[in-house]
Structure 1
Amino acid sequence: MAEAGIDYSAVFQALPGMIALLTPEMTYADVNEEFLRISGRTRGLMVGRYLFDVFPDNPGDPAASGARNLRASLQRVLATGERDAMALQRYDVESLERPGEWEERYWSTVNAPVLGPDGQVVLLVHRVEEVTELIKARGSRGSRTQVLEAELYARARELQEGNERLRAAHAREREVALALQDAMLPAIGHHRAAVRYQPAVGSLNVCGDWYDLVDLPGDRIGVAVGDVVGHGLQAAGVMGLLRSALSAASRVAEGPAQALEVLGLYARSVEGAENTTAVETCVDWDTHTITYSSAGHPPPALLHVDGTVEFLDQATDPPLGARPEHIARPQATTTFTEGDTLVLYTDGLIERRHEDIDTGLGRLADSLIHHRGTAPEALADALLLDLLPTVGTTDDTALVIVQL
């Protein structure tokens, strides 16, 4: 059957399980017929109303926690963009025929996100499995079974509480990582430069990518980007060590190649630094030249004022620590004209699974040509919009743009 011929509204209503659609504000956008039948509610009592006005906790039970647990699950989905399966919940429901009387109910719930084009949660799919009769039937088999059921429920609650503690620890780790990252990444003082830093989805908003801009003697600056394998706090820590080392080396080395040689030797003593990629450039306004060297990193792009794009790929060597012996790294030099634009980036900007890197480089070149003449800040935003996936990036991205 062609997609145009499918009545998805009718499919939703006919689904055999209890399904509701919630807005990010946790109001009912729609519910299917099975949800109405089993819950005993009408569409008018649910659609457009706040979930916890329709199904509040039993006020006569001080230990009632169904609403609190469900709210926490939905908030997790909104915050992470990932589905959340809840432990078995006792969630008493007020009788419509006998207001004030509450019926003992047991629900197994899964909440899942519906993402919009920008990767944000626009709807919540709330699936409920009614298991009250199963729990009561098992309980009627005898006291031993009741004890086992109680133990099972207690273990489920313990597991849920443990998961909540893990999430709290995860949040604390993210705070530490963000503070560490903010302290390590340099502020941009050069008025013709713009940077962007885009961690992958689910990576604590921190990663192993870095950028660096340093003033050098004369009318020169050093511009570098690098990429440590991995995400999270450990990768951010390794990133900070390598970035600081390269920043120091670039100030005293004879050129980018020697700076990367020093960094490669240092990386051998840093756990987790293996196979890090980096590229270092030296921009000299007196001679209108860019000298560069790459350790396994995607080539910087030079957008000329005439609309051509030159990839700086004539001095590429393996990543840091990839060779057991020390060998001098290559270095190359190219010229630039006033008004040209230098772009350094990490692989998250161009690489896609099951795709040749030349395809990604071609996309980058096309985007640069399309936005030729754009100021660095606006160009940085345009490149991210053109090149990054519209939904959840799976790799980190660092981007540096320098107007020459």
Structure 2
Amino acid sequence: MSQGGIDYQAVFLALPGMVALLTPDLVYADANEDFVGNSGRSREELIGRYLFDVFPDNPNDRTATGVRNLEASLRRVLATGERDTMALQRYDVQSSQRPGEWEERYWSPINAPILDAEGHVVLLVHRVEDVTELIHARGRAAAGGRSQVMEAELYTRSRELQDVNERLRLAHAREREIALALQEAMLPVPHLADHHQAAVRYRPAVGALNVCGDWYDLVELPGDRMAVAVGDVVGHGLAAACVMGQLRSALSAASRVAAGPAQALDVLGLYARAVDGAESTTAASVHIDWTSHTLAYSSAGHLPPALARADGTVVFLDQATDPPLGARPEHVPRPQAGHAFTSGDTLVLYTDGLIERRHEDIGTGLDRLARSLAAHRTLPPDHIADALLLDLLPTPGATDDTALVVLRL
């Protein structure tokens, strides 16, 4: 124990089993004592060096696939942020005592990510178990040519498992493509009257299956009025995108006939009870009246819309917030509040991917949005939207979808 608590460096070094830490560039950052001892490489030969410079494929084996398979697994972890358990691998290692001689080795590897506060992969945990002796012992126990048969079966099973993993990866990638296409088809650029200036943006999350159910909608209403809404369906992938399409269409229709945003969300909440996967969806709706220069708004568990005034102040419309759709056992009418605006003010609606970060208070994200919006408030809506995404989204990409509407009032 160190003075501040557990000495995790000592714990890491003493871990039973071979464990190494790799950077996203696949360079050794650290290795525990078992890894150093059993790999036949000193710490100086490992730390700071590229993984496959230390352990290349056996050049004498034209069928060697260790480097290709291990690199594919590590790249999957970097792309998805998810653990990857590999099939049994034959990965020969050059003898440290006899350069040029290669030792037949079998390994069982597991690769896992270490994420930072924003969900980015900053290190890879590479854990391997040397099962060479087990394979050889089974071979010695077999009679006659059975050892060769067993080795062939093990090799065949390993390749089959690798093929299954590759097919799953391709299927996941295809699902993402379909979900993105569906989402984009349901989120077209709105066609508004010439005197209305608006910009919309949708940014999918990074990763193979992280397409979510975020949406936006702008509806022209009679009497120089407009309904603007954003929403976020719980879940990921194609199912969430399908639910999103149903709820977006329902709210768009309800907004055209409802007396105000609260009534539109009431209708949406009743409809959501009949849609599988719609539970806990959040949504915010704002009705704009240019004749009276007023905003009427209501929120079903969603983050508050932001109103940027010409003097640089930013007001969050947070006085009519209610639980998400389906959160109450019985239907209760939703609250509604109003706020005045001045010509030239800017209204921004968004989903949580824009501001929420892991291990960070939501107020920090709202403050960050307010500062960026105040700084760019005089720009056209298209430029404001791009500036907000540039200022607020993490550089490698967010781990959640982002829908954004910027409207000049």
The answer to whether the superposition gives a TM-score over 0.5 is yes
* 2:319 alignment partner in structure 1: 313
TM-score, with normalisation over the residues of structure 1? 0.76
- C-alpha distance in 1 between matches for 2:263 and 2:168: 44
**Percent identity between the aligned chains?**
64
* 2:72 alignment partner in structure 1: 72
- C-alpha distance in 2 between matches for 1:101 and 1:94: 6
Select the residue among 157, 162, 165 that pairs with 1:163: 165
Cα offset, 1:225, TM superposition: 1.1
* 1:374 alignment partner in structure 2: 376
Q: Over residues 8-57 of structure 1, what are the superposed CA-to-partner deviations in whole Å (9 max), with x where a residue is unaligned? A: 4x776665543444343334455555444433345565555543343333
- C-alpha distance in 2 between matches for 1:123 and 1:298: 32
- C-alpha distance in 2 between matches for 1:319 and 1:42: 58
Cα offset, 1:363, TM superposition: 6.3
* 1:180 alignment partner in structure 2: 182
- C-alpha distance in 2 between matches for 1:363 and 1:392: 16
Q: Over residues 69-109 of structure 1, what are the superposed CA-to-partner deviations in whole Å (9 max), with x where a residue is unaligned? A: 11111111221122322222111223355555432111222
Check whether the contact 2:230–2:285 (CA below 8 A) recurs between aligned residues.
Answer: yes
- C-alpha distance in 1 between matches for 2:244 and 2:77: 30
Indicate how the Cα distance of structure 1 residues 152 and 278 shifts in structure 2: closer, same or farther if over 3 A, else same: same
Check whether the contact 2:92–2:102 (CA below 8 A) recurs between aligned residues.
Answer: yes
Indicate how the Cα distance of structure 1 residues 318 and 161 shifts in structure 2: closer, same or farther if over 3 A, else same: closer
Q: How does 1:169-208 map to 2 (within 5 A)?
A: 169-187=171-189, 193=198, 195=200, 197=202, 204-208=209-213
**In structure 2, the residue corresponding to 1:140 is in which secondary structure?**
helix
Indicate how the Cα distance of structure 1 residues 384 and 189 shifts in structure 2: closer, same or farther if over 3 A, else same: farther
Q: Over residues 263-293 of structure 1, what are the superposed CA-to-partner deviations in whole Å (9 max), with x where a residue is unaligned? A: 4565455443355343322212232111234
- C-alpha distance in 1 between matches for 2:56 and 2:357: 46
Q: How does 1:52-67 map to 2 (within 5 A)?
A: 52-67=52-67
Select the residue among 212, 215, 230 that pairs with 1:210: 215
- C-alpha distance in 1 between matches for 2:158 and 2:40: 27
Q: How does 1:3-402 map to 2 (within 5 A)?
A: 3=4, 8=9, 17-29=17-29, 31=31, 34-42=34-42, 46-47=46-47, 49-96=49-96, 98-116=98-116, 119-143=119-143, 146=147, 151=153, 154-187=156-189, 193=198, 195=200, 197=202, 204-251=209-256, 253-257=258-262, 259-260=264-265, 263-264=268-269, 266-267=271-272, 270-295=275-300, 297-304=302-309, 307=313, 309-314=315-320, 316=322, 319=325, 331-346=336-351, 360=362, 364=366, 368=370, 372=374, 374-375=376-377, 376-377=384-385, 380-381=388-389, 384=392, 397-402=402-407
Indicate how the Cα distance of structure 1 residues 3 and 402 shifts in structure 2: closer, same or farther if over 3 A, else same: farther
Check whether the contact 1:303–1:369 (CA below 8 A) recurs between aligned residues.
Answer: no
- C-alpha distance in 2 between matches for 1:247 and 1:164: 41
Amino acid at match of 2:183: Q
* 2:381 alignment partner in structure 1: none
Check whether the contact 1:27–1:48 (CA below 8 A) recurs between aligned residues.
Answer: yes
Amino acid at match of 1:95: S
Indicate how the Cα distance of structure 1 residues 54 and 176 shifts in structure 2: closer, same or farther if over 3 A, else same: same
Unmatched 5+ stretches in structure 1: none
TM-score, with normalisation over the residues of structure 2? 0.75
Indicate how the Cα distance of structure 1 residues 6 and 381 shifts in structure 2: closer, same or farther if over 3 A, else same: same
- C-alpha distance in 1 between matches for 2:97 and 2:314: 76
Indicate how the Cα distance of structure 1 residues 260 and 354 shifts in structure 2: closer, same or farther if over 3 A, else same: same
Amino acid at match of 1:336: F
Check whether the contact 1:309–1:369 (CA below 8 A) recurs between aligned residues.
Answer: no
**In structure 1, the residue corresponding to 2:235 is in which secondary structure?**
strand
- C-alpha distance in 2 between matches for 1:22 and 1:366: 33
Unmatched 5+ stretches in structure 2: 378-383
RMSD of aligned alpha carbons: 4.4
Indicate how the Cα distance of structure 1 residues 314 and 269 shifts in structure 2: closer, same or farther if over 3 A, else same: closer
- C-alpha distance in 2 between matches for 1:99 and 1:354: 49
- C-alpha distance in 2 between matches for 1:67 and 1:109: 12
Amino acid at match of 1:380: L
- C-alpha distance in 2 between matches for 1:27 and 1:237: 41
Cα offset, 1:391, TM superposition: 11
Check whether the contact 2:57–2:92 (CA below 8 A) recurs between aligned residues.
Answer: yes
Cα offset, 1:398, TM superposition: 3.6
Q: Over residues 142-180 of structure 1, what are the superposed CA-to-partner deviations in whole Å (9 max), with x where a residue is unaligned? A: 339856676566545433432322121111101111111
Total equivalences in the alignment: 396
- C-alpha distance in 2 between matches for 1:34 and 1:274: 48
Indicate how the Cα distance of structure 1 residues 383 and 245 shifts in structure 2: closer, same or farther if over 3 A, else same: farther
**In structure 1, the residue corresponding to 2:188 is in which secondary structure?**
coil
Q: Over residues 320-357 of structure 1, what are the superposed CA-to-partner deviations in whole Å (9 max), with x where a residue is unaligned? A: 696778x87665433222344434344566789999xx
- C-alpha distance in 1 between matches for 2:181 and 2:8: 50
- C-alpha distance in 1 between matches for 2:368 and 2:32: 47
Check whether the contact 2:293–2:340 (CA below 8 A) recurs between aligned residues.
Answer: yes
Amino acid at match of 2:178: V
**In structure 1, the residue corresponding to 2:24 is in which secondary structure?**
coil
**In structure 1, the residue corresponding to 2:374 is in which secondary structure?**
coil
